[in-house]
Amino acid sequence: MAVLEDLKNAIITYKPAKAKEYTLQALAEGYEPPQILSEGLIGGMTVIGDKFKRNQIYVPEVLIAAKATHAGLDVLKPLLSERKTKPIGKVIVGTVKDDLHDIGKNLVAMMLEGAGFEVINLGVNVDPDKFIAAIKEYEPDIVGMSSLITSTLHWLEDTIKAIQEVGLRDKVKVMVGGAPVTEEWALQIGADGYGKDATSAVEAARKLVGAA
Amino acid sequence: MADYRVIACEVFKEELLLGLSVPAEKCLFLPQGLHRTPDQLGVELQKAIDQLDEEGGIDRIYLGYGLCGNGVAGVKSCRSRLVIPDSEDCIPVLHGLPGVGQGRAIDRITSYYLSHGWIAYGKDGWKEYERCLTIFDQETAYWCVKEMLKHYKRFTLIDTGMLSHAEDQAYTHKVSTFFGLEDGETQGSLDWLESLLREDPAFNLTVLPGVALETRLFAVNRESGGDTAGKGLDKSLSQAGGKG
């Protein structure tokens, strides 16, 4: 288990090259990719997420820790795909129209992948039509939307309404998040789930697909 | 005669004290970064209001904030009416009243706005870079901040006519050059803040003592999609009973 602890620490101490090295070492030592993912990579990012929530670290630290996690994920992804493990659910994620903030949304996407979801990341400035097209194309279980600034918050509600108007609302669960989003607001606008941070977003997603 | 107080974000400090000559003893400034944690902004703002309520002697409190990530939602005063710009945050307020001047064309998508207050009290890309240098090597620190700025095309200084304008211009130029972004400037104004102190109902919301500010009262939500956002809300309702 020492190598998984080293891997976790490489993420917590912001060392992408080390994270890749320890991921390769863990594989060489015979650890299974899902265990390396959950105990090493996601274990590290969970600590980072917790520190961020407590204002002990800030966005740059999260970015470099995410880069370290991706360095390990890049090694594991082909191996995880080969195993053809059925994902626990399919999620499309995107930042709403007129909003280009994606750090938190990408963090949630990564944590969801780590938790066993298939994630389709639509990027930033995603208008309601693009969300709708993606629902039709990918038939996800969950649509996750993020808004970081007050001026784009209304797009969460507008997108939910647009999904409803084309008759797709009962086909998907909707999760929302972002700094100005509160649980109360999420419920008011008709979302099914809300994540205050990346860890709780994963918990909410697991609940929505009945995996919690 | 009952008095007033101003509780404002530090970002407006110079504009209020020097630009509009509000006496310092009537102002209380809260730290600039609270909008990053809207829950905490609400807590700190309520604490400041409660303190004024306890001291007594005033009947109106002018809030130098916007909706600010819903951070102001829920705050109320037991004794004073609260007046606040009907704005999503400080950026439109610094630009000035809608329809006045060229600066009203706000481009949040590609412009990273700076103002005197943002430079003096805020955390911008340069300050974040300097902080990162204490944790990471230069290359990593630069990568982190560039990553944070990746969607922006320019730093845009909002000129509200503060004495420090030349210094703020030089700072904006330095930061823009360093991070490879365009160096922009736009004309701001003090007129929205001035209208706040006049309690002009066209641009500011007023709630009576005991009534909490609500998200749905703000124009940014009144103009959006549906009922929960308060579409079609009557302006008199938005002012929650007028000035009293």
My answer on whether B178 and B200 are in the same domain is: no
Cβ contact, residue pair A150, B135, below 8 Å: no
Q: Which of A55, A149, A157 sits opposite B228 (nearest CB)?
A: A157
Query: Which of A97, A148, A151, A152 should be substituted to probe chain B, the one whose Cβ sees the most B Cβ atoms within 10 Å?
Result: A151
Q: Which of residues A82, A115, A140 is at a domain's end? A: A82
Burial class (CB within 10 angstroms; exposed 0-12, middle 13-18, buried 19+) of B207: buried
Report percent pLDDT > 90 for chain A. Answer: 67
Question: B192-238: per-residue pLDDT in tens?
Answer: 999 999 999 999 999 999 999 998 899 887 655 433 333 323 333 33
- How many CB atoms are located within 10 Å of the residue B90 CB? 28
Find the domain containing A72 and state its range.
2-82
Domain tally for chain A?
A: 2
Residues of B with CB under 8 A from a CB of A: 36-38, 66-71, 88-89, 108-109, 128, 131-132, 135-136, 140-141, 143-145, 147-148, 151-152, 215, 220-221, 223-226, 228-229
Is residue B76 included in any domain, yes or no? yes
Q: Indicate whether A27 pLDDT > 80.
A: yes
CA-closest candidate to residue A152, choices A197, A99, A104: A99
Distance of CA A45 to the CA centre of its chain: 11
| Same structural domain, A128 and A199 | yes
Our count of domains for chain B comes to 2
Within a domain: B152: yes
Average confidence (pLDDT) per 10 residues, chain B, 244 residues: 92 97 97 86 97 95 94 95 95 86 70 94 90 94 92 94 95 96 95 97 96 90 46 30 29
- Per-residue pLDDT of B153-173, as tens digits, reads 999 999 999 999 999 999 999
Nearest chain B residue to A103 by CA distance is B148
- Alpha-carbon gap, residue B57 to B167, rounded angstroms: 40
By CA distance, what is A68's nearest residue in B?
Answer: B140
Of B168, B187, B206, the position where a domain reaches its end is B187
Looking at A46, A63, A82, the residue that finishes a domain is A82
Q: How confident is the model at residue A114 (pLDDT cuts 50, 70, 90)?
A: confident
Domain boundary, last residue among A42, A57, A82: A82
How would residue A167 be classed by pLDDT, with cut points 50, 70 and 90? Answer: very high
Show the domain range for B30.
Answer: 3-87+191-238
d(CA A156, nearest CA chain B) in Å:
10
Mutate to test the interface with B, among A150, A151, A187 (most CBs of B within 10 A): A150
Same domain, B200 and B227: yes
Note whether B82 and B63 are within 8 A (CB): yes
**How many C-alpha atoms does B40 have within 13 Å on its Cβ side?**
12
Same domain? A183 vs A98: yes
d(CA B154, CA B31): 25
Residue with tokens 């829920």: B74
Contact yes or no for B222/B238 (Cβ under 8 A): yes
b/e map A148-174, b = 16+ CB within 10 Å: bbbbbbbbbbbbbbbbeeeebbeebbb
CB burial of residue A99 (10 Å; 0-12, 13-18, 19+):
buried
Domain containing residue A18: CATH number: 1.10.1240.10
pLDDT tens column, A117-141: 999 999 999 999 999 999 999 999 9
Residues of B with Cβ-Cβ distance to A147 under 8 angstroms: none
Q: Are residues A119 and A135 in the same domain?
A: yes
**According to the model, what pLDDT value does residue B223 have?**
56
Same domain, residue pair A64 and A131: no
- Rounded to two decimals, the pTM is 0.82
Q: Could you give the C-alpha distances from A114 to A49, A117, B61, in angstroms and in order?
A: 14, 7, 48
Query: What is the rounded average pLDDT of the residues A169-184?
Result: 91
Q: Do B69 and A100 touch (CB under 8 A)?
A: no
CATH number for the domain that contains residue A134: 3.40.50.280
Alpha-carbon distance A6 to nearest alpha carbon in chain B (angstroms): 19
